[in-house]
Amino acid sequence: MKTPGEYATLLKSMKREWLWLWHYMLRYRLGILVYIVIGLAGTAMSLGTGLAAKFLIDAVVSHNSGVLIKSAVLAVSLSLLSIAVSAASQRIASIVSTRIASEVRAEIYDHIITARWEDVCKFHSGELLNRLEGDVSTVSGYIISFIPNAVTRLTMFVGCLAIVLYYDVTMAAIALISAPFLLLLSRFSAKMIRKYSLQSREINGRVLSYSEESIQNLQTIKAFDLTDRYSAQLRTLLSEHRRLRLAHDRFSLTLSACMSVIGLIVGNLCYAWSVFRLWTGRISLGTMTLFLQITGYLSSSFSALVSLAPTAITAATAAGRIMEITELPREDDTLCEAAGAVLAAARTSGIAVEAHGVRYTYHDANTPVLDGVSFCASPGETVALVGPSGEGKTTILRMLLGLISPNEGTILLRAGDAEVSASAAARRLCAYVPQSSAMFSGTVAENLRIAAPTASDADLERALRDADAWEFLSTLPDGIHTRMGERGYNFSEGQLQRLSIARALLCRAPLLILDEATSALDTATESRVLAGIMRTDFPRTCILTTHRPAILACCDKVYRVEDGHVRTAEAAQPQEP
């Protein structure tokens, strides 16, 4: 049982979620308005068809051929128009909901890729995809359909009630007997629907995350002979998903059965009353037929109105999960102008890096990984960061790339008189080669041009030669147009590292950042790659992390990162862990 405070919190959350949905409804109000108009036309035709059927039956009973023909033509015409309106309504809903889904999905994707890196990393990629696809589909369908459904069903309810009241007040009262019971069922079901909806989406995210991660690491799973274990673990997750789904279905079936029983009772009462009124001669056979049809509409439209509440709860649950993404803090991009000035100056003078008193603690850690760190790199220098794994070398590189920001202290990028703090805006000054290759599906040329879209084939060849990748690539039948499999599975790790370095060189950025970028290369290849990196027609500063002593001979400065501090290598012996 929830406490009053918990219910208040729940209602407050749902209010925020509905306001978020209302914002999108206002944005697409024109499409929604068209959908409403078509829905109202369909409702009017349904009611008109019922009245036409009444006059038709009465005309048959009274042998009134004039009214019979007119009523038959009207009934057929309204039926055909109703089919056309229904088709148009479905088409409009499909067009608008597809547009909404595409635009909302694009906006959420933008939020994901522009949110602060550390905040996004709190979500598994599979869960992000689950929200980007499943939750967006639920929300887009709700946005286009909720208000039109509410208006058309309310119109149907009022129209049916007016017709029944016109002919028989008692019949209207009988038809509405189910109202209080349906309201009570709706109030109870609302809580359960929100609970099941949230649990279902969470387990869907877990299944998707597990499947995605295991498929991405299929080589490792096979190498350790873990296929049976991973299959068994997925089946465990699917079993939990199945248990939850069956519990949800059991609840839905029970609720549906209760509503059906209520509807059956009300329908039989309406039928009995209609037969009695017909028996006593108070109504005609056509009026009885109208009663049976309209009271069915009346009961179903009221049930439909009541069912809007669970629909709104399901959509609000999905909206809340989306809002968790859209409300993530975005990266600070306010230093674009300053970064542009540094980039322009760095083309001639090179770029310097200065860190002063940097302190940083990850959100899931209790102790700082960096504590009062200071270091510098002058224009054109190659600076190495060495030390044991997990001591903060990669953290420093992430700060240089603006993925994270210091809790205290600053990191400045300076060229001449211009300077800018390391940030998202300053990434245009950097070219980055990660420790593990980050290649995308497509050709080698397409992967390289990610960094330089306008690069010519000659530019690509030059970068590949500098990265010592041209020799092996030129022997392939398709050369730079060779297609790469997902994550570059058809290339070796060493080849992928060299391709990553070539891509970084194409940027012609003044600051080159290498994170263990030559770890998969042999000594001779590593020497050639480093020589190619240093061969440049503009001043380039290079900061790298490494565990390989041979690289240090090529470096102007060596800093050791250990115990949260950075010291020059001369002050911290030995250089290698």
Q: Is 511:429 a contact under the CB 8 Å cutoff?
A: yes
Half-sphere exposure of 358 (CA within 13 A, CB side): 31
Calculated CA dihedral for residues 475, 476, 482, 488, nearest 10 degrees: -90
Indicate the range of 44-53, 195-204, 231-240, 554-563 predicted with least confidence.
Answer: 195-204
**Which residues partner with 359 through β-bridges?**
408
Farthest-apart Cα atoms in the chain, separation: 114
Greater confidence, 522 or 423?
A: 423
What ranges in 327-424 are assigned the alpha helix state H?
336-349, 393-400
Greater confidence, 194 or 568?
A: 568
pLDDT band at 10 (very low <50, low <70, confident <90, very high): low
**Which residues partner with 512 through β-bridges?**
431, 542
HEC-encoded secondary structure of 71-110: HHHHHHHHHHHHHHHHHHHHHHHHHHHHHHHHHHHHHHHH
Quote the percentage of the chain above a pLDDT of 90: 11
In this prediction, residue 398 carries a pLDDT of 92
**Residue 16 tokens, joined:** 């925020």
Look at residue 293 and tell me whether its pLDDT is greater than 50.
Answer: yes
pLDDT band at 353 (very low <50, low <70, confident <90, very high): very high
**What integer is the mean pLDDT of 298-326?**
80
Indicate the range of 19-33, 181-195, 425-439, 478-492 predicted with least confidence.
Answer: 181-195
Look at residue 575 and tell me whether its pLDDT is greater than 50.
Answer: no
**Which residues partner with 355 through β-bridges?**
375, 411
The dotted CATH code for 336-571 is 3.40.50.300
In this prediction, residue 123 carries a pLDDT of 85
Best-predicted range by mean pLDDT (87-91, 116-120, 222-226, 267-271): 116-120
pLDDT band at 4 (very low <50, low <70, confident <90, very high): low
In this prediction, residue 458 carries a pLDDT of 92
pTM of the model: 0.74
pLDDT band at 543 (very low <50, low <70, confident <90, very high): very high
pLDDT band at 187 (very low <50, low <70, confident <90, very high): low
Predicted confidence (pLDDT) per residue in 14-71, tens digit: 788 888 888 888 888 888 888 888 888 888 888 888 788 778 887 887 777 777 788 7
Q: Is 331:424 a contact under the CB 8 Å cutoff?
A: yes
**C-alpha 482 chain-centroid distance:** 32
Greater confidence, 505 or 245?
A: 505
Other residues' Cβ atoms within 10 Å of the Cβ of residue 40: 17
Q: Is 467:460 a contact under the CB 8 Å cutoff?
A: no
In this prediction, residue 89 carries a pLDDT of 78
**Residue 501 tokens, joined:** 């370095």
Best-predicted range by mean pLDDT (83-87, 122-126, 345-349): 345-349
> Does 310 sit behind a cis peptide bond, omega within 30 degrees of 0 on the bond before it?
no
Quote the percentage of the chain above a pLDDT of 70: 92
Rounded CA separation 227/332 (Å): 43
Please report which helix (H) or strand (E) contains residue 483, including its range.
strand 483-484
Domain ranges of the chain: 9-326, 336-571
Mean pLDDT taken over the chain: 82
Rounded CA separation 530/534 (Å): 6
Other residues' Cβ atoms within 10 Å of the Cβ of residue 528: 17
Look at residue 112 and tell me whether its pLDDT is greater than 80.
Answer: yes
Predicted confidence (pLDDT) per residue in 251-285, tens digit: 777 777 776 777 677 777 777 888 888 788 787 88
Helices 285-326, 4-27: axis angle to 10 degrees equals: 100
Instruction: Report strand pairing: 382-386 vs 541-545.
Output: parallel
pLDDT band at 6 (very low <50, low <70, confident <90, very high): low
**What integer is the mean pLDDT of 448-459?**
89
The dotted CATH code for 9-326 is 1.20.1560.10
In this prediction, residue 188 carries a pLDDT of 63
Look at residue 116 and tell me whether its pLDDT is greater than 70.
Answer: yes
**Residue 241 tokens, joined:** 């998903």
Look at residue 414 and tell me whether its pLDDT is greater than 90.
Answer: yes
In this prediction, residue 410 carries a pLDDT of 93
pLDDT band at 321 (very low <50, low <70, confident <90, very high): confident
Predicted confidence (pLDDT) per residue in 202-232, tens digit: 787 788 778 877 777 776 677 667 788 878 8
544 — phi, psi (to 5°)? Answer: -135, 155
pLDDT band at 311 (very low <50, low <70, confident <90, very high): confident
**Residue 249 tokens, joined:** 């279905």
Residue type at position 146:
F
Greater confidence, 338 or 55?
A: 338
Q: Is 94:329 a contact under the CB 8 Å cutoff?
A: no
Q: Is 556:384 a contact under the CB 8 Å cutoff?
A: no
Look at residue 573 and tell me whether its pLDDT is greater than 50.
Answer: no
Which one-letter DSSP state was computed for residue 133? I
In this prediction, residue 182 carries a pLDDT of 65
